[in-house]
Amino acid sequence: MSLLWLRVAVFLYGIAALAVLPAALYDRPRWRHIAIPATIAAVLFHFVSLAEMLNAAHHRLPVDTHETQTLLGLLLALAFLLAYWRYKTFSFGVFILPVCFLLGLVPAFHPGQETTTSPMIHTGWIFLHVALLLAAYAALLLSLLASLLYLIQERRLKQKSPTLTWLPPLETIDQIALKSLLFGFPCMTAGLLIGSLIAQATVGASYFRDPKILLAFAMWLVYIAMIHIRRIAGLRGRRAVYLSSFVFFLVLAVWAANQFSAVHRFNAP
């Protein structure tokens, strides 16, 4: 049944992604009454699907790539709903909802077949480790998106061109970017700390020679620098985009390093 619920969620994400376009881009508020309920329903089906999927596999965290995609898509959808509830803007849905649709599409119709034999897979701490890091990645992606939109809107203002009316004010966009970073940092810190403690108990000191781990801690250091610069120097616009993009590419490098990781490797049955 988990695949059925996920397919329903993907279908609803598709409806929401289409409905948010006229609602945001063409100022058709009536479409908002389709986009937001469809997203909420998709999140509910998505959560039920993920819970059943993990329960059927007898573990409490995403193991293969498809399960991780599913959880990341759910977190992004929740981030969009939180931004809508807090700032009354659904402009980010133009970008986030199609990503949620794509992240759920492959797992819904071509589920992964990877497994792992690690005994730590059944502990609650490892689930917390994965969930916290994925929440940090989702927050970073939202911050990067907000920074890009800030840059676009700011440039149009400087050129005295008509602004994009479907975007919120610059101050709101900047607050979303900054608060996303501030939310993601403790998630990343706690996730890395928990992962380090678990790894010390299972694989020992070799954990800190793993390429993915080294990149993850490098990303954490850059994350600190980015928050410090934004808070102290009031970094906005193009420089904020460059810095956020650099951290985001580090995230992609961390994911790519999983192929060479001795700790984060899953074996096919």
Does the pLDDT at position 86 exceed 70? Answer: yes
Do 135 and 161 lie in one domain? The reply is yes
Point out the domain boundary residue: 114, 149, 173. 114
CA 233, chain centre distance (Å) = 26
Do 128 and 199 lie in one domain? The reply is yes
Residue 57: both structure tokens together: 């596999």
Is there a contact between 242 and 211 (Cβ–Cβ < 8 Å)?
no
Helix (H) or strand (E) holding 50: helix 29-56
Do 34 and 132 lie in one domain? The reply is no
Local structure of residue 213 (DSSP, 8 states): H
CA atoms within 13 A on the CB side of 5: 15
* Domain, as residue range, for 5: 1-114
pLDDT tens digits along 150-187? 888 888 887 877 777 778 888 888 888 888 888 888 88
Classified as helix, coil or strand, 267 is strand
Distance CA 155, CA 237 (A): 9
Q: Please give the model's pTM, rounded to 2 decimal places.
A: 0.68
Do 55 and 178 lie in one domain? The reply is no
**Total residues belonging to the chain:** 269
Number of compact structural domains in the chain: 2
Which of 140, 151, 152 shows the shortest CA–CA distance to 177? 140
Residue 104: both structure tokens together: 């759920």
Is there a contact between 207 and 263 (Cβ–Cβ < 8 Å)?
yes
Do 107 and 175 lie in one domain? The reply is no
Point out the domain boundary residue: 114, 143, 172. 114
**Identity of residue 229:** I
pLDDT at 43: 94
Do 141 and 264 lie in one domain? The reply is yes
Distance CA 35, CA 22 (A): 10
Point out the domain boundary residue: 89, 114, 139. 114
pLDDT tens digits along 55-84? 776 666 665 667 777 888 898 999 899 988
Round the average pLDDT of the chain to a whole number and report it: 76
Do 265 and 177 lie in one domain? The reply is yes
Do 60 and 140 lie in one domain? The reply is no
pLDDT tens digits along 183-239? 888 888 888 778 777 766 665 555 556 666 777 777 777 777 777 776 665 666 666
Do 109 and 179 lie in one domain? The reply is no
Do 224 and 241 lie in one domain? The reply is yes
